[in-house]
Amino acid sequence: MRKHVSLILLMTLVCISYAAEEGGILKMASPKLREFLADRPSATRALNAAISESFSKRTLKLHYFYSDDETQPRAAHFYPADSVVCIVIRENQQPCDEYLCLIYEVLNSQGEKRFQDLAEQAKSGAITKTNFVREIIRQEFEAVKKVKEQLDSLKLEKKEQKTSYFFKRFAECPGDFEGFFTYKPKGAKRDPFKVYEELYDSLQKKP
């Protein structure tokens, strides 16, 4: 029942629109993320730089949700309209993980054109399911590499690194695509291959 209620709250709990501006990230972040960033100016600069780069001509809408279902993604993004990107982030997680979710989805949203091209190819049957999954993950790998470069800016203590859900996953991520493609973090319950295979099937069914 708790999971169903959590899903109902998705997209309705918090919605903040953002147009890129200096320091704007503090206006859109949750209270605990603002507190986390207040002690980490380098992380704040990195996030502001990513947002400025990604949203100079687009609008970002941020939604928070609650869930304890680890088979579901802790964050995602989609494109509800032209020049608009919506990012959804799970609130009930460590602030450092909330940060990593946000900066990853901000950077990942830069692949909008590629994601849309792949969706059109899937609808028309111009790409196989196997290659569709592979190319989606290849595009996501670009954002992963950039996030990995930002880990030092978090200045996390060893204990914080250990309790973080994402820190180790990014830190140990292979630096080459083939390694990343087969990379399976220990304890991961979500299978991205299955998710994108199902996405391909749903796109094929659309007129």
Q: 142-191 pLDDT, tens per residue?
A: 999 999 999 998 999 999 999 999 999 999 999 999 999 999 888 788 88
Q: Tell me the residue range of the domain where 18 lies.
A: 2-205
Q: Which two tokens stand for residue 112?
A: 């909008």
Q: Name every residue whose Cβ is closer than 8 Å to that of residue 37 and which is 6 or more positions away in sequence.
A: 25, 26, 29, 43, 44, 47, 99
72-121 per-position pLDDT tens digit: 899 999 999 999 999 999 999 999 999 999 999 999 999 999 999 999 99
Classify 183 as helix, strand or coil: coil
Q: How distant, in Å, are the alpha carbons of 33, 74, 90, 140 from that of 93?
A: 10, 9, 7, 22
User: Domains in the chain: how many in total?
Assistant: 1
Give pTM, 2 decimals.
0.87
Percentage of the chain lying above the pLDDT 70 cut: 86
Question: For strand 14-18 and strand 59-65, is the pairing parallel, antiparallel, or unpaired?
Answer: antiparallel
